[in-house]
Amino acid sequence: MVSATPRTSPPDARQTGTWTDQVHSVPARGHYPDVDELLASFRALAERHPGLIREHRIGTSRLGEPLYCFTVRERQTVRECQTAGEGQTAGEGQQSASAPAPPLPDAATGAAPGEDYVVVGGVHPNEPVGAVTTLHLATRLCEDEALRAHFGGGWHIVPCVDPDGARLNEGWFAAPADKYRYGRHFYRPRGEEQVEWTFPFAYKDAYFDRVLPETLALMRLLDATRPRFLTTLHNCEAGGVYYYLNRPAPALYEQLTAIPAAAGIPLATGEPEAAHAPVYAPGIHGVIDMRAAYDYLESHGGDPAAALAGASSAAYTEPYGTFYFVAEVPHWTHPDSDDETATARGHPDVLRERAAKLREAGEFLAGVLTAAEPELTLDTPFLRASRAFVPGLRELSDTETARAAKVPERAATVSECYSCEQSMHSLRVRFGGMLLRALEAETAAGTATREVRALRAGLLERYDQWAAESAVAMGEPLPIATLSGVQYAALLAAADEARAEGARADEARADEARAERAAARRPA
């Protein structure tokens, strides 16, 4: 079971307006919890604090796993107690995948609509830092009355919204510092099977409504709570820390910069993950918006309607005025991540070099996949992901080549060179590893032909070469407690900004109402 004993308390944060000290509040640990361990830890916490935290089933995964939300608030409402199945064990309270979904906790029955907070872990199953963060957050909320009072509303915490995908990564959760083991047990779903990118989307020639059951569960939770604040918990592979916000929040930037610095982790100031996302400050970006992604791909000669899936949870909560926030923390860190020293290399040349290496890797993997396809008998998640991501390497290469022709001629920084090199290594190891798993599923099942076994051997040889080359670029591993601590401190800072923003809006509405009443009393 996951240890959840806190080491510090945040009174100074509430008094001074900074949450940086919370970076060091997460207990040390050597592995990421698997799905069963994580849920067991949440249930143990609920048993210790029955009046503060309630378990709710919000849906069912594609493979029949129940999806749970744990709500922490000062006083649980009658409806929330009914939803949680009070007096039942977890097994007795579960409903079958075909049964009608139980009601969700309704923000209107507790705090006023717009006052609650939603925190979602496991939206990408290869990103497990959030599992530790969700448990630490729930623990601190249960144990610290002043912390609950400071934020006011209820906290709806989903420990893992994609348990099916998480189970396919559990092979490396026990040894997260082992880079080779990470790549060989890596799994990330194709776009149309990712919870975060399968919200409804319609823009120009793109239309997506194949909403996953997991996404639907999250949609229902968001509709029921209309949250003041939403964070989906993510982590990247290597480099530095960076953030996404759905609107500028200048008052927050100093804290977001100080939090990773307090942990000794650099900001990621190099080539951004999404070139079309706005930059608010170094390492702080506007959210990845699929409309902007569509326009970007279209402007660089791509086919966005074919490349994109759905929208994100940030887009889905736009009508509610929700403050959306993401803290991306790296498994491994590298000092070049925030080095903005100019190099002798031109920025367009760096982009073209990455594009060339991505094309080379894409063509090799495509050759293996094309040769194997007639021999494959199993429709595995690894094969579906490979069919999507392998062609995507060549498409990304084309987009980057077109972009390189348009960017201004200038010197590339050290951080830009690093991020381009690191991302290339990351994509080769990720997609090569998943294609290997697709071929090995056939060998494990006893259905692999001689051709498949030969292709697997050739791919493994190339993969081992890529893994050795990537080991240096990925940098040094970071402790799990440090990564979770940065994520925890940053989400509290962002949630506090959302709380303050809501208070300012409430005061503005009160001033407007007072002015209207005063105007009505004036004589005509």
Q: Give the Cβ contact number of residue 207 at 10 Å.
A: 11
Note the pLDDT of residue 307.
84
d(CA 494, CA 123): 19
pLDDT in tens, 195-234: 999 999 999 999 999 999 999 999 999 999 999 999 999 9
HEC profile for 120-149?
Answer: ECCCCCCCCHHHHHHHHHHHHHHHCHHHHH
- What φ, ψ does residue 199 adopt, rounded to 5°? -80, 155
pLDDT in tens, 127-142: 999 999 999 999 999 9
Note the pLDDT of residue 108.
39
> Is the domain defined by 28-84+112-337+478-509 classed in CATH 2.60.40.420?
no
d(CA 328, CA 487): 8
What's the pTM value of the predicted model, to 2 decimals?
A: 0.88
Residue ranges covered by each domain of the chain: 28-84+112-337+478-509, 342-474
d(CA 108, CA 112): 5
Q: Angle formed by the axes of helices 450-474 and 414-445, to 10°?
A: 150
Q: Which residues of the chain have pLDDT under 70?
A: 1-17, 75-113, 524
- What φ, ψ does residue 422 adopt, rounded to 5°? -65, -40
- Give the bridge partners for 270, in sequence order: none
Structure tokens at 35: 């799905």
Is 29 exposed, middle or buried (CB count within 10 Å of its CB: 0-12, 13-18, 19+)? middle
Closest CA to 332 of 232, 265, 246: 265
Is 451:371 a contact under the CB 8 Å cutoff? yes
